[in-house]
Structure 1
């Protein structure tokens, strides 16, 4: 699997998880209709499927690396969709998380 394919799958999984969770949040916390929650639930099911398309066979490794991507995407979602502005500590933490993602997924390939 190419690094690009892995990154694209992480991004798709993140959008599905955050988007689905946001739709459920809108339903339960913001009083939107049941359809918002139902669509959110379907999107969350899709989130569960996408990581299985990663070539890496170790579930724990894929989900640990995905966690770092989730951190970054959550901050971006908050900024773009909810208008919330991450502070410098959020940004530094996200950068550290991405270094962790790279080491977990590709460190063996880069460093032996």
Structure 2
């Protein structure tokens, strides 16, 4: 980011650069960084990288433990893929049959 700012000849104070940097981060990392103390961009960068690694570890552990739990029951569990509510089953259009005069008369009664 600093290299790009130098190339683009952008000069901002440290606080504005940190704000811009935080705005481009994942929301979960932003939330964690908001409660941290930092003075320089390098500190916040280091903490952001640490939080990202923690999140990756947490996500990989949870997916591993879920798969392990399902297999420990003796049979793997596979969920049926559900269609989103906006996707309905496709039903082809069937043109209605034309009624002859006898059928029309019965419908009118």
TM-score tier by shorter-chain length is: under 0.3
More helix by percentage: 1
Of structures 1 and 2, the larger Rg is shown by 2
TM-score (norm 2): 0.26
The structure with higher relative contact order (CA 8 Å, sep 6+) is 1
TM-score (norm 1): 0.26
